[in-house]
Amino acid sequence: MSRSEVTDLFLALTPEKVLRAVEAAGLRSSPVCYPLNSFENRVYEVELEDRSRIVAKFYRPGRWSEAQILEEHRFLAQLEAEEIPVCNVRPFPDGSTLKRIDNIYYSLSDRRGGRAPDELDDRAVRRLGMFVGRLHNVAVGES
C-alpha cells in the first residue's frame, strides 16, 4: 500500500474503525466515541462496556517510525515507574503497546482527567520544575 493510500485511510478514520481497533485489543466498547484535540495524530476517547473510558491514539502515517513510537512508549513506562504522573500506554493482551489497523499504528491509554490552570502560582511553578527535573533525570538514566 502506498504512503498516500495509507494517509487517505488515516484522514478517513471513522468512529466505527476506532471502535473496531479497540475491540481488536480485546476490550468491549460501547458505541460512545469522541474525537479529541490533537495537532498531528487522530485521538479519540472511547467508552468501554463497563463505562470506564480509554484514549485511542492513531499515529499519522510517515511521521514517526515504529521504533520512535515504541521509544516514546518505553519512556512513558519509565516515567510511570518513577511515579511521575503520565498517561502511560496500555499493553495489548500479547504484551505489545502498538498495533496496526489498515496499516495505521495505534495505541491505547487510560483516560486521565485534568485541566490547565488559568495561572501558575509560585508553589505550582516549583512543583512543575521538580517534575521537569525528575523527567530529565529519568531520560538520562539517573532515577
* Residues in Cβ contact with 49 at an 8 Å cutoff, skipping those fewer than 6 apart: 28, 29, 30
CA atoms within 13 A on the CB side of 107: 22
In this predicted structure, the answer to whether residue 1 has a pLDDT above a threshold of 70 is: no
Cα–Cα distance for residue pair 88/132, rounded to 1 Å: 17
CB 59 within 8 A of CB 44: no
pLDDT tens-digit profile of 21-55?
999 889 999 999 999 988 889 999 999 999 999 99
In this predicted structure, the answer to whether residue 123 has a pLDDT above a threshold of 60 is: yes
Residue 137, φ and ψ in degrees, nearest 5: -60, -40
- CATH match of 3-114 with 3.30.200.20: yes
- The predicted pLDDT at position 116 comes to 80
